Amino acid sequence: MNWLIASNNHGKSGDLRACLAYYGLTAECYDRYFSRLTFPAETTSSYVTNAVTKARFAAQRLGQPVIADDSGIEIPALPGQLGVTTARDLGVAVSGFQRNQEILTALTTCPNSHRQATMWATLAAAWPDGHAVWAQGSLSAYISSSQLGTHSGGFDRIFWLPAYGRTLAELPAVWRIPLTHRGQAARRLVRQLQALKGSVS
């Protein structure tokens, strides 16, 4: 069975492809084979509901099994912002660099000890008949004072891991993927799919 990634964000799709491949599952961006979809607006406060809704929508429209993602970053020093509404708060058309700069600017006066953050990812796999399974992962660390690293993009460039003395984006994939929120979710989802006979080719 060939899996398609239901996302119009090629940066996210590339990261998800890498995470799934790390655990032995091959997936491709859906728009390599189909016309661009307009996904339903994310209107809920649940990562799981958003991911499952997106996956079911794409699976039914494409007639193929798909994997969708809903993710966000939660920063206690910025209460009432981000989290499940991260993309909505920062703007879906805004570059990752600009999003990071907005966060860094908002935390300019925040001391290092209060720059805690958690990234969440929920991955949902769905089939055209509506059946779906999902898995979630999270990673807690700190927001750095500047953007660092070239091994990955997005929030990885400002997500500082004290144990490594680096941001996520400064770590090569072989170290980074098992740590990341999306990597953890991918591992758990692949295990579920492997347990479903015939779900993984």
186 backbone φψ class: left, alpha, beta (φ>0; ψ -120 to 50): alpha
Alpha-carbon distance 62 to 39, whole Å? Answer: 12
Taking CA atoms, 29 is separated from 14, 56, 67, 183, in Å, by 8, 16, 10, 17
Residue 70 falls in the annotated catalytic set: yes
Catalytic hit among 15, 70, 89, 156: 70
Nearest to 137 by CA among 16, 25, 11: 16
Alpha-carbon distance 158 to 43, whole Å? Answer: 27
Residue pointed to by tokens 């072989």: 174
Query: Which residues are known catalytic residues?
Result: 70
